[in-house]
Structure 1
Amino acid sequence: MQAGRRLPREDLILISGFGVWPLFSNSISMEAGAQCRQLDIDCSRAADRAFWQAMPVNVAKRWGGRMPKLTRTWCCHPAGEGAWCLDVITALIEGHTEARRAMVAEKRREAERRGEEADIADGSLTAITFEAAELSQEEMLSVGRINPILPPVHAPPPSLPALTSISGLTAHHRGIGSRGWRVPSLQRVQAHEHVDTLGPLVSSSRCLRAFDVSSTVDQKAEVLEQVPVAAERHQGPLANLEGIGPIETRGVLFNLQELDGWASELQLILVARGCCRSLRSLKVKLVDEAMVSHPVFLFAEDLQEFANAVCVDNVPLTLTGGVGIFDLVLLQSALFPPASSPILKTVLRQLAQQAAQVSVGLNSTLSTPLDTPTPAMLDLARGLAFDKATRVLVANIDSLLQAPAAPPAPAPGLAAVAIIEEMQPIPQASALVISERMTAAVGIELASKMPNLQQLLVNSIPKGEAVRIADAIGCDSRSGELSLVHLVPAGVTDVVEFACRSLRSLMQLSCEMVVLNLLGLDAATRDLLESAVPDHEQLAYVCGTIIVLQHDDNKLSIAHRRS
């Protein structure tokens, strides 16, 4: 390099960006820092990782002091280790704020001496971004500085007047919220999880638009209540708020007590700080696998009240997370509102789309089912699509089977049947379980909505009725499996004859497999049955088919396959 030669601005930026300042003279490093606009702190490369992990905090702050024009900071940390080199990052940013404040003061003094106005903004740093990188196990061995002690906080607190966005936060970054940073222009805060120290940070903003943090209503209230309340006749600090991030729910669809005033406190906090019908989206995240039943009405009612107070009209609602069971009995419940609110319709439709199993009858004791469905019930049923459900269960409903001599027929007045008739097909469901004290008509109607039905399981129903149910469902036209779970009646002494007689009844159906599960057999009875059937061929001769014996500690299964 020739003495006295001035490096181009582009070269100076490269020098500052790749962290090689110690290789150059102090004048070059100072000029490089003065030209730096973006600072990247990257853990994905071994050399960079070692460089940042070895940097002393006082050096980091001095480097930050050489970058008064910095506009963006990006930190790529190892996945799961958000606090990686956080002391270095903090020192760099706070060093920048001091340098920026000093530069602005100097520029304004110079302008004042000339009798001019200084055309310079108070701040330059607009965005701080954190991002996780997946490192291999071998690379993680060289990762250090994952839980550093942050440098002491000095008065006055650092000011970042131009900062509009801070994103990618995790709970590991909670130390940033405790620094006392003043961020009056902050518009967006994004975190992957609740960070309990964000209150002081967002409370200094006067134009927050997005609080994009996945947290519960209580956690959101804990942070946002630290924002100052709106002064009388003045617009509040949250007047421009458009989003509050996903609302996490844990068991809220199970527990009526959890739903009591579910979102009322958060609603009051938002309204008191100026958020009045400004939210443009509403997101709910089901943390636990939910069972959709009667409490969903109260959940939707509270959510509708919340939306009416703080959201725009027709606010888009998105529900994510796992839904285990969707109970159709809620659609014929006396708790069903006379007119479905927009939120209730959206909630039920989105929950139905994510349900893994459809049931009729679980928790039916919570509310007496209506005999006749209302128009609102039928209208909502038409919009339900169970695209992901693979299993359908009917249980705990009083049997409406007719006399054993007559085949079961759907009962037109039964609300569940009328509702199911309006439903869309359940394309992925391959298993139908019909349990004791059930309504045969409900099971038969559900089967008509299952084009992929392959397995029918009938629990604790006399085999004659089970055969009639299977026949009504159309097992003769389906290639599938029929399983009959039956408790061996008291007084049966010849278990072998009982099993064979039961199989002969089931063999009337043209299924690929018929399984008879005999429950309640003690060890002596199992031994008797096995000793009476020494090999498969003998039992095959009795039944005229190929028989496979299967048993475990508490039951014996005899499977009949067509040869």
Structure 2
Amino acid sequence: MAASASSALPHGEAMASPAPCRYKEGSRVLMVTNGRQKGKQRWVKADVYRIEEGRGGTALHLREVGGSEEFKVLVPHNETTPLTDTHQMAQVVWDVTKKTPAGFGDDLVASLFSFMTPRELSAVPTLCKQWPQVRKAALHQQTHIAIDSSTEDDRHFWDNTTPEEAFDLGKRLVNLTALTLVQPHSGRWWCLDSMISVVEGHAAGRREAREKEGQQHMAEGSLETIHFTTTTSTSPSSTGNVNQHRPPIPPSFAPPPTLHALKAVTGAVQQHSVLANTRWKMPALEYVDLCGWDAITLGQFISSSLSLREVGGRLLPGQWAAVFERIPMAPPGRPGALRQLKRIGVIERERYRDPLEQYLTGVTRLQDVLSSRGCRKSLTRLDVESPSFANHHSLSALLAVDDFINTCCTSPDVPLNVEGNGFRGHFDLSLFYADAFPRRPSLFIKTAIQEAARQTDKLTYTISQHDLTHPLNDPSQAAVEIAKTLSFDKVEGVAVHNAPGFVPPPGSPSPAPAIINHLQQLPRARALYIWSAVGGATGRLLAEKMPREVESVEFGRNVSVEDRSDALEALGAEREVGTVDVGRCGEGAVSLTQGGAFDGWGSEGFPAIDVILMEFEVPDDLEDAVAVISSGLTSLLTAGVRGLRRAVVWLAGPGDRVDAIRELLPNGVAVGDFDIITVNGWSAWRIGIRATRRY
């Protein structure tokens, strides 16, 4: 032990340690006051709150516990050099064989022993007849303890401490302010019962001490924080499997306590959710950061708080509502228990599917629950997984979150953390023309749309009756400003299709939404799908955003020759396309009666095309079907399609027509620079004609 050789109190001296590296933020030491009048200096406890490494040593910044005085002490790198203050005072070394410094009485002896852990105190032999009182006083002075599995000795001590012994220990820790449970990685049940017993024993001991000393001299509670963590030790004893034979909830040695000063519970995981069954009352609880608790259990645990400021976690909006529903609603004219709430954890979205109606309902319910319990204009930030931007339900969900922000947050411009959740979905550009799209989008709306664009892998434009009856050449300024900022770096597919159930009337114009002109290029887009009969103009605008190399372009059965040609012209001669597919999507094959499918392939403005695939239905009543196919295929193969290496035409029709086609185009026949072979389909009514360029 380091001690002073003189009876005078040293100035600004820390209790010396043989291992300066032991000091870290939160370490507690004894110091002698500097700032008090000479002769009235005294020993005080101080906590390390900042550490600065320097050339000569480590500078410790300390603050008096329960006071305002601050200290700065230099811990030399050379352990043989004594600790000094910043004024390089003379070396002072205490010697336990000499007289104890003045003012260092029995209470300070207890203070010295209060730096020892309960295990270390239990191992100290009886030093004198006053030792039981010194030990008791040392425990009374302890403010921080850890139930720790990091070392073999600590683990053995706590493993052999019964819940009743832990309760009795807690009764002596009447000034406990912080409790940490350090568990093995694979044993999150370890000593949970002891931790609960220590807490409940502390509450009982504090209540008894307060009754003894008088209520005016002692606050109702002192325990402020409970923290769960795992050991950083790599020893087998601390990382191996734990045999936990005791139940996680110990027997009750006292009624459920009120923890008047408890402000924070952090680091708890799913196994610790049994804490909700303790029925602790925690009116001062401000901060809770728990992982893996279900909504009902979490709500039960925090329901007694009147001071909540932050509740961490990740839950769906409806689950968050279930958490806070356990807290009583505010009586009329009263502020409510959630009036101080500043932040809740992440509002999640369902993964791997997108039930947006459920999300919307959950957000609305959460808003009602929070506001009815006092959380109005209270939240100072919001963490939310963004809804997709896929349909009108998506837009409604975004607007619901926006309304939540306006009701529950301090302002629409609170700090936002808008996340994706791994469910990419698709991004529908037609929503920029929706009647509900806000004229002055909030920060959240802008951020959420930007995040949805970053996450999506499929960009779409959905054509509906709205697009045929409303002008699309003049999008709102708000829509344009957002569109310019969007980054579609993950988009691989671009599609134009009709809204579900919508069939464009014959003769409908092909809408050309100008919002597409304001988009950035699509660097990873590899496929363009035009499935709508009136999707040509939209497809042309999207084609201009594609990269130089495109893997496939697909046209639906009802896309006209003109619209198909316009889209290919928009891709331009500088691009290369792997496959152009006509009539092979889910809408079905092209009917030979439509005509034109074999036409219009010779434009010099088209990109280079490697493969053309087509699928036709051969009607029963088309007498010249064989001739149409023969002449059409010849027209396609001799049109001079740049880069064409192969063309495959699939036909489905009556068996006699299939046989006639096979006779007309037998294997090995040549058409221009191509050799023809026929291949059987999956039935006798289906045949493929494959033309491969000769080299």
Using the size of structure 1 for normalisation, the TM-score is 0.74
Change in Cα spacing, 1:463 to 1:77, as seen in structure 2 (3 Å) is: farther
- C-alpha separation in 2, matches of 1:163 and 1:187: 8
| Matched residue, 2:433 | 332
Change (3 A) 1:481 1:505: farther
Contact persistence 1:253–1:290 (CA under 8 A)? no
Q: Is the 8 A contact 2:637 2:674 kept in 1?
A: no
Q: Relative to structure 1, is the Cα distance of residues 490 and 228 closer, same or farther in structure 2, using a 3 angstrom cutoff?
A: closer
Give the Cα–Cα distance (whole angstroms) in 1 for the partners of residues 182 and 468 of structure 2: 56
Q: For residue 258 of structure 1, what is the aligned residue in structure 2?
A: 358
Is the contact between residue 617 and residue 653 of structure 2 (CA under 8 Å) also seen in structure 1?
A: no
- Post-superposition offset of 1:72: 2.2
Give the secondary-structure state (helix, strand or coil) at the position aligned to 1:98.
helix
Structure 2 residue 528 is matched with structure 1 residue 432: yes
Distance 2:691 2:389 in 1: 33
- 8 Å CA contact 1:263–1:303 kept in 2: the answer is yes
User: Structure 2 counterpart of 1:65, which letter?
Assistant: K
**Counterpart-to-counterpart distance in 2, 1:257 and 1:37:** 50
Amino acid in the other structure paired with 1:482 = T
Match of 1:489 in 2: 616
Task: Report deviation, 1:177.
Answer: 1.9
Rounded to whole Å, the distance in 2 between the matches of 1:128 and 1:330 is 48
**Alpha-carbon deviation of 1:342?**
4.9
Letter in 2 for 1:450: M
Residue 345 of structure 1 is aligned with which of 446, 449, 462?
446
CA contact 1:352–1:385 (8 Å) conserved in 2: yes
Write the distance in 2 (CA, Å) between the matches of 1:391 and 1:34. 68
| 2:538 maps to which of 442, 455, 461 | 442
Task: State the alpha-carbon separation in 1 of the partners of residues 171 and 693 from structure 2.
Answer: 81
Name the % identity: 26
Q: Do the aligned partners of residues 227 and 368 (structure 1) sit closer, same or farther apart at CA in structure 2, a change above 3 Å counting?
A: farther
Tell me, yes or no, if structure 1 residue 89 matches structure 2 residue 195. yes
Aligned to 1:292: 390
**1:313 paired to 2:411:** yes
Q: What does residue 250 of structure 2 align with? A: 151
Q: Which residue of 2 aligns with 1:370?
A: 470
Superposition pairs of residues 99-248 of structure 1, within 5 angstroms: 99-106=205-212, 108-109=213-214, 118=217, 120-131=218-229, 142-145=241-244, 148-153=247-252, 155-193=254-292, 194-248=294-348
Kindly provide the amino acid, as one letter, of the partner of residue 164 in structure 1: K
Deviation at residue 280 of structure 1 after TM alignment: 1.2
The amino acid across from 1:151 in the alignment is P
Partner in structure 2 of residue 249 of structure 1: 349
Give the corresponding residue for 1:39.
145
Contact 1:475/1:510 (8 A) holds in 2? no
Residue of structure 2 equivalent to 1:323: 424
C-alpha separation in 2, matches of 1:77 and 1:366: 61
- Alpha carbons of structure 1 residues 207 and 12: separation in structure 2 relative to 1, 3 Å: closer
CA contact (8 A) 1:174 1:196 kept: no
Tell me how far apart the structure 1 counterparts of residues 210 and 313 of structure 2 sit (CA, whole Å).
Answer: 34
2:335–2:374: 8 Å Cα contact kept in structure 1? yes
From the superposition, tell whether residues 259 and 121 of structure 1 become closer, same or farther in structure 2 (CA, over 3 Å).
closer
* SS of residue in 1 equivalent to 2:279: coil
Q: 1:293 to 1:59 in 2, by over 3 A?
A: same
2:458, 2:491 within 8 Å by CA — same for their partners in 1? yes
Aligned-pair distance for 1:150? 0.6
Match of 1:408 in 2: none
Q: Is the 8 A contact 2:110 2:135 kept in 1?
A: no
Residue 179 of structure 2 corresponds to 73
Structure 1, unaligned stretches of length 5 or more?
404-410
Cα distance in 1 between the residues matched to 2:631 and 2:650: 10
Map of 1:457 onto structure 2:
553
Cα drift, residue 281 of structure 1:
1.7
Q: Contact 2:617 / 2:652 at 8 angstroms: preserved in 1?
A: no
Q: Which residue number corresponds to residue 361 of structure 1?
A: 462
* 434-443 vs 22-31, which moves further: 22-31
Moved more, 163-172 or 69-78: 69-78
Larger Rg: 2
Distance 1:515 1:297 in 2: 43
Q: Secondary structure at the match of 1:270?
A: helix
User: Is the contact between residue 389 and residue 395 of structure 2 (CA under 8 Å) also seen in structure 1?
Assistant: no
- Cα 1:341/1:57, change in 2 over 3 Å: same
| Counterpart residue number, 2:607 | none
* Contact 1:167–1:190 under 8 Å retained in 2: yes
**Residue aligned with 1:74, SS:** strand
For this pair of structures, how many residues does the alignment match?
530
Q: Distance in 2 between matches of 1:178 and 1:225?
A: 18
Check 1:365–1:88 CA distance in 2 against 1; reply closer, same or farther (3 A cut). farther
- Counterpart CA distance in 1 for 2:465 and 2:269 is 43
Structure 2 unaligned segments of length 5 or more: list them: 2-95, 101-105, 127-131, 590-614, 619-624
| Partner Cα distance (2:626, 2:185) in 1 | 65
Counterpart-to-counterpart distance in 1, 2:383 and 2:651: 46
Please list the CA deviations of residues 374-414 of structure 1 after superposition, one character each: whole Å capped at 9, or x if unmatched: 424434433433233233222237999xx9xxxxxxx8x83
Using the TM superposition, give the Cα deviation of residue 295 of structure 1 relative to its aligned residue in structure 2, in angstroms. 0.9
Decide which moves more: 179-188 or 387-396.
Answer: 387-396
1:414 to 499, 511, 529: 511
Contact between 1:206 and 1:238, CA under 8 Å: does it hold in 2?
yes
String of CA shifts for 1:120-177, please: whole Å, max 9, x gaps: 44333221123468999x9976233399341244553223222211123344322212
For 2:155 and 2:640, locate their aligned partners in 1 and report how far apart those are by CA, in whole Å. 70
Normalised to the residue count of structure 2, the TM-score between the two structures is 0.62
* Deviation string, structure 1 residues 469-525 (Cα, Å, up to 9, x no partner): 5642335323552342544323476999799759847972448x8785858799998
- What code does the residue aligned with 2:578 have? E
State the AA in 2 paired with 1:427: P
Do the aligned partners of residues 9 and 495 (structure 1) sit closer, same or farther apart at CA in structure 2, a change above 3 Å counting?
farther
User: Matched residues in 2 for 1:348 and 1:366: separation?
Assistant: 21
- Does the C-alpha gap of structure 1 residues 294 and 233 become closer, same or farther in structure 2, counting only changes over 3 Å? closer
Paired letter, 2:616: P
The equivalent residue for 1:508 is 641
Displacement after TM superposition at 1:454 (Å):
3.1
Q: Which residue does 2:569 correspond to in 1?
A: 472
Q: State the superposition RMSD in angstroms.
A: 5.1
Residue in 2 aligned with 1:302? Answer: 400
Give the counterpart letter for 1:456 in structure 2: S
